């Protein structure tokens, strides 16, 4: 696996991103990793590296590129950065990332997956409702779009949620489960008992749950293998 920093022209600014890809591979399926509200930090880079080791061309775009590529370490700053990112601008920059991926000779551009966490989980579920370019999505504890958006979901999903999440409401997660059935969409919602928001983040000992994080990651890899490596 090799890693590099890249940049490409967005609608409003230059978007910076971190790439991890298999060494020597002619082509590879692509996967987008969307940051938590902290920004494009070392944890998100590590998730991209994990996907690179699994044979994916993984890219983690900096959705705070419009705000000077900032990274937060405290919740107040993170909240300000997230509030400064309009949802439509985040989607626009992710769509630009998809376009960039499709232009790369190293990617199998017809197969793009997406995963994300916290704020990134919201985008990882919303983007495949807005775009037909995504072939698989694995959102972790993100906001649930309105049903009229979910009706337009274009790919299979696995959604990971901790039952003690203080940010995302259980009622909305149950609505997602119902919407997948109502709209005949392929997907699965996994609720992890005793877990809090952010349980996948191994840099946060206050919330990290290794066994549940491992299971959620294995489910993500299974989804990607079934839908991207074809």
The residues annotated with a catalytic role in the active site are 118, 165, 197
Contact 154, 179 (CB under 8 A): no
SS3 117: strand
Please return the burial class of 190, using the count of CB atoms within 10 Å of its CB with bins 0-12, 13-18 and 19+.
Answer: middle
The residues near 110 (Cβ < 8 Å, ≥ 6 apart) are 135
Instruction: Fill in the DSSP letter of residue 138.
Output: E
Give the C-alpha distances (Å, rounded to integers) separating 125 from 104, 149, 160, 197, 210.
24, 10, 11, 16, 23
């Amino acid at each position: 696996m090799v890693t590099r920093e890249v940049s490409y022209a967005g609608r409003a600014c230059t978007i910076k991103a971190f790439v991890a890809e298999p060494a020597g591979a002619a082509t590879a399926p692509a996967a987008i990793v969307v940051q938590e509200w902290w920004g494009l930090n070392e944890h998100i880079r590590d998730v991209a590296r994990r996907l690179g080791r699994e044979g994916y061309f993984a890219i983690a775009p900096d959705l705070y590129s419009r705000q000077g590529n900032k990274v937060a370490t405290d919740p107040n700053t993170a909240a300000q950065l997230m509030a400064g990112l309009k949802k439509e601008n985040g989607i626009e920059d992710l769509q630009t990332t998809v376009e960039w991926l499709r232009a790369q000779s190293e990617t199998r551009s017809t197969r793009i997956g997406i995963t994300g966490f916290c704020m990134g989980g919201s985008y990882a579920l919303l983007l495949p409702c807005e775009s037909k370019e995504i072939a698989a999505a694995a959102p972790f504890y993100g906001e649930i779009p309105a049903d009229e958006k979910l009706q337009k979901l274009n790919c299979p999903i696995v959604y990971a949620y901790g039952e003690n999440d203080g940010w995302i409401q259980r009622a909305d997660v149950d609505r997602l489960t119902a919407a997948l059935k109502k709209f005949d969409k392929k997907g699965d919602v996994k609720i992890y008992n005793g877990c809090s928001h952010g349980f996948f983040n191994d840099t946060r000992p206050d919330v990290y749950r290794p066994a549940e994080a491992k299971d959620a990651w294995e489910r993500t890899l299974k989804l990607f293998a079934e839908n991207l490596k074809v």
